[in-house]
């Protein structure tokens, strides 16, 4: 039974990491979904929202709600932060007008964060993903839960299980795993030194734990952490969970 | 227009000191203890729900409960004084203290008196003021300010305190906490016995009984309120609960969230002056109820922050607070709660950038014993800031362009295309090391990825659409 899903790819993946978007599509389709991409989508509106510019945020939000509201089926978003925004903040932001409010609620009810949706797909299809790891070298990988997925949507285990299913990977823990990476959207520009301080705490702990691969489901946190790692000339690999899954599959002998 | 010293500048200054390291360690230790205390108490979540309801109900009916509280205090033989602002509160307190010239005033911990800058005021009038809470005593010795609601010297190490005692109390250097404690106790004892006036804060006032409740771990709160002839309790206007049973609920979540204890060592209940036959207690009991901006906050969409019971858990868990410490906030209340409350209590412009001192990670919301959605309130304050006195004006044009483009798919695509052009300045997989203007803030410590040569939507259009 195939289900049609709408992909809301997020502005960062669209513009900076298109391969992640392709890996997302591949995984969704492999699990039996039919993926559609509403072409007029742009960005959820969160950047302006967090900065306190709610007029801009509302206009961007409403445009995208209209685009999504014209479609059917679950809306899959490969970012906990954007998903949390559309589920929890969108309805509040659109509440000034009853029709917009209803639209925001309708869309919010269809939003599915990627790791959560894929976990459910696999469960439904009883996909047995865990493979024996005896033939491939094991890399130490940490799953960064990302604040908005973790505290906004209550997700962590979903992404960790997906990571554990990837061949050649051993999932490891670090101290303070649930602490913020310091990105915080425009916070990183408004308070760059503080943002950097928080990031460095996180990077130190990743290094202390000997992590070789940093995996997450939110491209924004990953950009931030990879930007810091590159500056440190640390070769730790940073990948979105969708790409970790896709790469693991291609590595299969 | 001149901007006051910003959070960012203060934070950078603080990050250059050893203070944040001490704060980070202590804050994480507190959170570990809190986790133990939460796990230890099966009905914690329901109790938090109940505490939240109690506090929100009180705020919604604050007028009624303030009247009831005042009546109850007077019925018990106490006196209630109302202060609209810090100046009035100081004047009223002065009148009580100043009945005797050169009074000796002892104080137990109170954040609201920090708002008033009460110590300086009383000292200027010729009185002697001695802080008796160990942390506050250290702050006073160091001529410093508290950096945390419940742990005033979280920013100091025991070595710092050893140095301070050595210098100011002229004792041989030691950094043994027990010895330092004993030194402070010996030093303070004579003040307890000879003080004219005791000034305390109030953790919770009970409308039904007119009681004030203070929780301490040192017993100084008890001595301060019972030994001197006069006890002045200074209470923030919103600190009430309706009944004694409600107060028990608050106390239950307070200590677990604050210090990770089941209960503080002392839970001190004062319900009026000494009655005939009482072995001790003051002859005079005065409660000063302080507004000082609270009514104003109550009328804004950040009013829920007044439900706060001052446990400090949101500070302890906050990645920003841990990185910069309390002094970076430049206000009496720091951390997430302070970032919402301070701009409300003070002149908004004075603390207008504090609501931005957060990554909105949500950790504060998760630990708040009364479940205040602090990130939501921070965003409310940001909205107000951008309207009244935007501390990040330079973001305005960029966000305006974003707002225009992100609702017009064609314009959005052109912007993405322009980004790709810029990206072509870089080789494949090569990140920017330096970006211009305000983006410098990013690239000072982090590389930035170039836009991809082909966006996802282009790939989709060429490979997937129509299939």
pLDDT at B99: 84
The per-residue b/e assignment along A46-85, b for 16 or more CB within 10 angstroms, e otherwise, is: bbbbbbbbbebbbbbbbbbbebbbebeebbbbbbbbbbbb
CATH number, domain containing residue B119: 3.40.50.10420
pLDDT at A129: 57
Cβ of A9 under 8 Å from any chain B Cβ? Answer: yes
- Locate B219 and state its tokens: 């017993």
Report the domain count for chain B: 2
Pair B403, B288 in one domain: no
Pair B410, B266 in one domain: no
Cβ of B378 under 8 Å from any chain A Cβ? Answer: no
For chain B, positions 236-265, list CB contacts with chain A under 8 A: none
- Cβ pair A147:B457 closer than 8 A: no
What was the ipTM of the complex prediction? 0.96
Pair B407, B287 in one domain: no
- Cβ pair B457:A9 closer than 8 A: yes
Last residue of a domain, one of B260, B292, B324: B292
Last residue of a domain, one of B292, B326, B345: B292
Cβ contacts (< 8 Å) between B373 and chain A: which residues?
A: none
Pair B52, B201 in one domain: yes
For the segment B385-420, what is each residue's pLDDT rounded down to a tens digit? 999 999 999 999 999 999 999 999 999 999 999 988
As assigned by CATH, the class of the A129-250 domain is: alpha beta
Strands (E), A49-201: 75-77, 111-113, 139-144, 169-171
List C-alpha distances in Å: B32 to A121, B126, B363.
37, 44, 14
Of B372, B360, B361, the closest CA to residue A145 belongs to B361
Whether pLDDT at A113 is above 50: yes
B144 neighbors B154 (Cβ within 8 angstroms): no
Residues contacting B342, CB < 8 A, separation 6+:
B329, B331, B332, B333, B351, B354
Whether pLDDT at A130 is above 60: no
Residue of A nearest to B392 (CA): A190
Question: Mean pLDDT throughout A146-156?
Answer: 98
Of B352, B294, B341, the closest CA to residue B315 belongs to B341
Last residue of a domain, one of B292, B325, B358: B292
Instruction: Identify whether B323 is part of a domain.
Output: no
Cβ contacts (< 8 Å) between B362 and chain A: which residues?
A: 147-148, 150-152
pLDDT at A252: 57
Instruction: Identify whether B378 is part of a domain.
Output: no
How far is it, in rounded angstroms, from Cα B113 to Cα A233?
A: 50
Residues contacting B182, CB < 8 A, separation 6+:
none
List C-alpha distances in Å: B427 to A122, B210, B431, B453, B455.
38, 73, 8, 10, 16
3-state secondary structure chain B: CCCCCCHHHHHHHHHCCCHHHHHHHHHHHHHHHHHHHHHCCCCHHHHHHHHHHHHHHHHHCHHHHHHHHHHHHHHCCCEEEEECCHHHHHHHHHHHHCCCCCCEEEECCCHHHHHHCHHHHHHHCCCEEEECCHHHHHHHHCCCCCCCCCCCCCCCCHHHHHHHHHHHCCCCCCCCHHHHHHHHHHHHHHHHHHCCEEEECCCEEECCCCEEEEEECCCHHHHHHHCCCEEEEEEECCCEECCHHHHHHHHHHHHHHHCCCCCCCEEEEECCCCCCCCCCCCCEEEEEEECCCHHHHHCCCCHHHHHCCCCCHHHHHCHHHHHHCHHHHCCCCCHHHHHHHHHHHCCHHHHCCHHHCCCCCCHHHHHCCCCCCHHHHHHHHHHHHHHHCCCCCCHHHHHHHHHHHCCCHHHHHHHHHHHHHHHCCCCCCCCECCCCHHHHHHHCCCCECCCCCCCHHHHHHHHCCCC
Which residue numbers in chain B have pLDDT < 70?
A: 1-4, 466-467
pLDDT at B2: 45
- Cβ pair A14:B320 closer than 8 A: no
Name the one residue in this structure whose structure tokens are 């004062």.
B270
Residue of A nearest to B373 (CA): A152
How far is it, in rounded angstroms, from Cα A70 to Cα A83?
A: 18
Cβ of B8 under 8 Å from any chain A Cβ? Answer: yes
Q: How many CB atoms lie within 10 A of CB A187?
A: 23
Instruction: Identify whether B193 is part of a domain.
Output: yes
Beta-sheet strand order (sheet of B79-83):
B79-83, B284-290, B230-236, B197-200, B104-107, B128-131
Q: What is the mean pLDDT of chain B?
A: 95
Pair B284, B409 in one domain: no
Residues contacting A83, CB < 8 A, separation 6+:
A77, A111, A112, A113, A148, A149, A153
How far is it, in rounded angstroms, from Cα B92 to Cα B111?
A: 18
pLDDT at B1: 41
For chain B, positions 342-361, list CB contacts with chain A under 8 A: 355-361
pLDDT at B279: 85
For the segment B12-64, what is each residue's pLDDT rounded down to a tens digit? 999 999 999 999 999 999 999 999 999 999 999 999 999 999 999 999 999 99
| Domain with B222 in it | 41-292
Cβ of A59 under 8 Å from any chain B Cβ? Answer: yes
B235 neighbors B112 (Cβ within 8 angstroms): yes
| Range list for CATH 3.40.50 in chain A | 129-250
Report phi then psi at B130, rounded to 5.
Answer: -125, 120
Phi-psi category of residue B127: left, alpha or beta, with phi > 0 → left and psi -120 to 50 → alpha: beta
Cβ of A135 under 8 Å from any chain B Cβ? Answer: no
Of B131, B119, B109, the closest CA to residue B86 belongs to B119
List C-alpha distances in Å: A15 to A20, B281, B443, B449, B453.
11, 71, 19, 10, 9
Cβ of A36 under 8 Å from any chain B Cβ? Answer: no
- Cβ pair A227:B320 closer than 8 A: no
Of B248, B262, B345, B246, the closest CA to residue B302 belongs to B345
Of A242, A250, A223, A15, the closest CA to residue A114 belongs to A242
Instruction: Identify whether B225 is part of a domain.
Output: yes
Q: How many CB atoms lie within 10 A of CB A130?
A: 11
């Amino acid at each position: 039974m195939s289900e049609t899903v709408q992909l809301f790819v997020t502005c960062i993946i669209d513009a900076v990491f298109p391969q992640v978007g392709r890996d997302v599509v591949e995984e969704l389709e492999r699990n039996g979904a039919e993926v559609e991409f509403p072409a007029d989508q742009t960005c959820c509106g969160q950047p302006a929202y967090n900065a306190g510019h709610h007029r801009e945020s509302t206009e961007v939000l409403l445009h995208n709600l209209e685009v999504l509201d014209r479609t059917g089926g679950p809306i899959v978003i490969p970012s906990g932060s954007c998903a949390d925004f559309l589920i929890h903040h969108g309805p509040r932001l659109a509440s000034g007008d009853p029709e917009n409010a209803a639209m925001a609620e309708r869309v919010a009810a269809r939003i599915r964060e990627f790791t959560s949706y894929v976990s459910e797909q696999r469960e439904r299809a009883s996909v047995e993903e865990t493979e024996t790891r005896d033939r491939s070298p094991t890399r130490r990988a940490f799953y960064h839960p990302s604040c908005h997925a973790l505290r906004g949507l209550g997700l962590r285990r979903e992404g960790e299980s997906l990571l554990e299913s990837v061949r050649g990977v051993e999932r490891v823990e670090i101290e303070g795993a649930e602490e913020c990476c310091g990105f915080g959207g425009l916070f990183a520009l408004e308070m760059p030194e503080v943002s950097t301080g928080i990031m460095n705490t996180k990077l130190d702990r990743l290094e202390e734990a000997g992590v070789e691969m940093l995996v997450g489901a939110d491209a924004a946190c990953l950009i931030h952490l990879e930007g810091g790692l590159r500056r440190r000339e640390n070769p730790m690999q940073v990948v979105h969970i969708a790409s970790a899954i896709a790469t693991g599959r291609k590595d299969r002998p | 227009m001149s901007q006051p010293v910003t959070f960012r500048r203060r934070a950078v200054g603080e990050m250059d000191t050893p203070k944040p390291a001490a704060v980070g360690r202590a804050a994480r230790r507190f959170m570990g203890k809190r986790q133990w205390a939460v796990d230890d108490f099966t009905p914690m979540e329901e109790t938090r729900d109940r505490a939240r309801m109690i506090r929100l109900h009180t705020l919604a009916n604050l007028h009624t409960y303030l009247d009831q509280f005042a009546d109850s205090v007077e019925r018990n033989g106490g006196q209630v004084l109302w202060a609209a602002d810090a100046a009035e509160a100081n004047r009223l307190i002065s009148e009580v203290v100043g009945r005797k010239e050169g009074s000796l005033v002892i104080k137990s911990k109170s954040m609201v008196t920090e708002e008033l800058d009460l110590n300086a005021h009383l000292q200027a009038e010729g009185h002697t003021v001695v802080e008796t809470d160990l942390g506050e005593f250290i702050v006073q010795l160091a001529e410093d300010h508290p950096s945390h609601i419940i742990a005033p010297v979280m920013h100091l190490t025991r070595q710092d305190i050893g140095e301070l005692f050595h210098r100011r109390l002229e004792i041989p250097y030691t950094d043994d906490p027990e010895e330092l404690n004993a030194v402070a106790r010996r030093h303070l004892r004579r003040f307890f016995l000879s003080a004219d006036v005791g000034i305390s804060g109030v953790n919770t006032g009970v409308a039904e009984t007119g009681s004030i409740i203070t929780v301490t771990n040192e017993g100084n709160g008890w001595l301060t309120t019972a030994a001197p002839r006069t006890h002045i309790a200074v209470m923030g206007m919103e600190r009430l609960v309706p009944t004694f049973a409600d107060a028990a609920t608050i106390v239950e979540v307070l200590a677990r969230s604050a210090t990770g204890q089941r209960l503080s060592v002392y839970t001190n209940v004062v319900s009026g002056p000494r009655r005939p036959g009482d072995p001790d207690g003051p002859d005079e009991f005065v409660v000063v109820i302080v507004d000082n901006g609270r009514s104003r906050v109550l009328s804004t969409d950040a009013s829920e922050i007044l439900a706060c019971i001052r446990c400090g858990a949101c500070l302890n868990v906050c990645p920003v607070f841990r990185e910069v410490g309390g002094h970076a906030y430049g206000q009496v209340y720091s951390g997430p709660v302070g970032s919402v409350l301070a701009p409300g209590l003070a002149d908004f412009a004075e603390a207008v950038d504090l609501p931005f001192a957060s990554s909105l990670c949500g950790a504060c919301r998760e630990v708040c014993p009364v479940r205040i959605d602090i990130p939501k309130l921070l965003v409310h304050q940001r909205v107000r800031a951008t309207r009244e006195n935007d501390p990040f004006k330079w973001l305005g044009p960029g966000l305006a362009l974003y707002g225009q483009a992100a609702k017009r798919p064609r314009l959005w695509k052109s912007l993405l295309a322009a980004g790709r052009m810029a990206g072509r300045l870089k080789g494949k997989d090569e990140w920017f090391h330096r970006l211009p203007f305000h983006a410098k803030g990013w690239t000072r410590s982090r590389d930035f990825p170039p836009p991809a040569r082909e966006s996802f939507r282009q790939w989709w259009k060429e490979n997937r659409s129509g299939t």
